[in-house]
């Protein structure tokens, strides 16, 4: 038998001539060359495989240390000092009247027809630093909203909220949606972090369905709406029909969706002409959806029922608006006419006056006088500034701004955030971008006013020496569309921002 030892078997004789594949007698065993080559090939192939398999047995290489991040990405060793404006100092120099006039006068130049009046005052002392017809009564456009802000903050208070509630009706199966002055309602869920849409009708409907279910009420439900908080004409006869048709304003009611807009993101064009019924119809649809699983069937069609809610009736459900301070700031930032008119009427109601245009104009005038602001020759036809019959002077506006900024009534400070910032926010976000006005970007804070032949700008600025100045510039009889007039207002305010006028 041939014994194998892991190698080719040994032969006892030669199988061929010398040099063949056999062995020569007396020589040791020899590997055949093909086998040697095969072994070498296997070795060549085995080395890369071993390199691939080895990490599984010996583990990966130790990770290389990461380079340290640059200094600006590392945690600071100490906290930086707050980057804020230093407090205003009463010792900051007051600009000289002649120097301020020399800066503002050439900037306030009319483009085309019409005239500009204006006043600049030192906020702390009230000293007049510039005066061009500052006592003349002028059509102020939306600058009038500053007066409405003062009245709302004084009568309602910055922290007040308006309540939209649902109460039982006088007949079985009735619920009454009661308007309480919130015209910024959302159709969907309440959004507590927002001003527009802070209270939502979907949330109110869900709460109402829960209350009805808890009371054991099932079956048919009829929705009524009580919007009797406002009285008098819903449309001010002083408003021009073209402005109403263009959507600058709409009939006033004490509840509305999106400040009487079909879409909160679209602030131009047609508006609901019955904002209360539009809101009530939305509530009805939301209640129908919320009550479907609670055995409630909501009848189609909302009915208006003034006074259907009893004053002392406990509410089934309620939602609250954003604060008056938050709403005032929104009103000033975007110049919301509907919200301004609502604020005026709610201020009137808070002081026992009727919730009408007459009540609104009366309370604004009265609160200005009570705040120590001169009301001589003041005439108000509305409280949003859309009417051409309004008459206010630049000097009256600077006194209003002074009262807001440094006056004794600290409730008015809540309006400071509402002033648009030049080049950054609100109705000034697209201004102060050219070479002549960029020096006022981020510094000028002012309420704008725009009508066809009217432009106005009233606000405040800290000058180059750290002095707080208040100003008001009003143009009347201007050439419609003349581009240079807005720039004139902005140039004048920019001159104040850069003023080291001593």
Integer Cα distance of 452 and 485 in angstroms:
12
Q: Which of 145, 222, 447, 486 is catalytic?
A: 145
Q: Which tokens belong to 59?
A: 């583990």
Percent helix, strand, coil in the chain (nearest 5)?
Answer: 35, 15, 50
Phi, psi dihedral angles at 38 (to 5 degrees)? -65, -40
- Give the list of residues 6+ apart from residue 51 with CB closer than 8 angstroms, or none: none
Residue 379 known to be catalytic: no
Q: Which of 137, 190, 259, 335 is catalytic?
A: 335
Integer Cα distance of 167 and 440 in angstroms:
52
Residue 15 known to be catalytic: no
Q: Which tokens belong to 219?
A: 């079956």
Closest of 415, 437, 410, 435 to residue 426, by C-alpha: 415
In terms of Cβ atoms closer than 10 Å to its own Cβ (0-12, 13-18, 19+), residue 136 is middle
**How many Cβ atoms sit within 10 Å of the Cβ of residue 407?**
19
Closest of 159, 157, 152, 295 to residue 217, by C-alpha: 295
Closest of 367, 380, 419 to residue 153, by C-alpha: 367
Parallel, antiparallel or unpaired: strands 219-226 and 174-178: parallel
Handedness of CA 255, 261, 263, 266 (dihedral sign): negative
Q: Which tokens belong to 125?
A: 């002392």
Integer Cα distance of 221 and 152 in angstroms:
37
Residue pointed to by tokens 């131009």: 268
Integer Cα distance of 338 and 331 in angstroms:
9
Cβ atoms of residues 316 and 283 within 8 Å = no
How far is CA 183 from each of CA 179, 193, 424, rounded to the nearest angstrom?
9, 17, 27
Active site residues: 142, 145, 335
């Amino acid at each position: 038998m041939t014994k194998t030892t892991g190698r080719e078997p040994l032969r006892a004789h030669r199988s061929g001539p010398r040099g063949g594949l056999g062995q020569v007698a007396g020589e040791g065993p020899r590997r055949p060359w093909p086998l040697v080559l095969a072994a070498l090939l296997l070795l060549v192939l085995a080395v890369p495989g071993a390199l691939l398999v080895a990490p599984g047995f010996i583990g990966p290489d130790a990770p290389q240390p990461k380079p340290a991040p640059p200094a600006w990405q590392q945690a600071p060793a100490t906290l930086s000092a707050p980057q804020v404006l230093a407090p205003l100092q009463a010792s900051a120099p007051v600009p000289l009247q002649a120097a301020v006039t020399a800066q503002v006068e050439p900037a306030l130049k009319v483009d085309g027809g019409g005239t500009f009046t204006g006043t600049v005052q030192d906020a702390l002392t009230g000293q007049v630093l510039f005066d061009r017809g500052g006592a003349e009564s002028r059509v102020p456009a939306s600058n009038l909203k500053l007066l409405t802000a003062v009245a709302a903050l004084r009568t309602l208070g910055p922290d007040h909220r308006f309540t939209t509630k649902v109460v039982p009706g006088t007949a079985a199966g009735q619920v009454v949606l009661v308007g309480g002055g919130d015209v910024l309602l959302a159709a969907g869920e309440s959004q507590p972090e927002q001003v527009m849409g802070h209270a939502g009708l979907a949330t109110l409907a869900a709460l109402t369905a829960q209350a009805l279910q808890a009371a054991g009420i099932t079956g048919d439900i009829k929705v009524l709406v009580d919007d009797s908080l406002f009285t008098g004409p819903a449309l001010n006869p002083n408003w021009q029909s073209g402005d109403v048709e263009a959507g600058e304003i709409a009939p006033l009611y004490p509840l509305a969706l999106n400040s009487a807009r079909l879409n909160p993101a679209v602030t131009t064009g047609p508006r609901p002409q019955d904002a209360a019924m539009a809101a009530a119809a939305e509530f009805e649809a939301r209640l129908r959806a919320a009550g479907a699983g609670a055995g409630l069937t909501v009848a189609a069609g909302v009915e208006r029922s003034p006074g259907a809610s009893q004053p002392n009736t406990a509410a089934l459900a309620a939602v609250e608006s954003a604060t008056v301070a938050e709403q005032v700031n929104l009103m000033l930032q975007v110049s919301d006419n509907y919200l301004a008119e609502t604020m005026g009427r709610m201020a009137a109601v808070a002081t026992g006056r009727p919730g009408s245009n007459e009540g609104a104009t009366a309370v604004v005038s009265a609160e200005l006088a009570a705040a120590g602001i001169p009301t001589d020759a003041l005439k108000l036809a509305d409280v949003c500034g859309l009417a051409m019959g309004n008459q206010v002077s630049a000097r009256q506006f600077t006194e209003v701004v002074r009262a807001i900024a440094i006056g004794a009534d600290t409730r008015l400070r809540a309006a400071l955030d509402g002033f648009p910032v030049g080049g950054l926010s609100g109705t000034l976000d697209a201004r102060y971008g050219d070479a002549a006005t960029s020096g006022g970007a981020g510094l000028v804070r002012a309420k704008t006013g725009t009508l066809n032949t009217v432009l106005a700008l009233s606000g405040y600025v800290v000058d180059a020496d750290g002095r707080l100045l208040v100003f008001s510039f009003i143009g009347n009889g201007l050439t419609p569309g003349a581009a240079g007039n807005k720039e004139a207002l902005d140039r004048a305010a920019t001159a104040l921002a850069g003023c080291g006028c001593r």
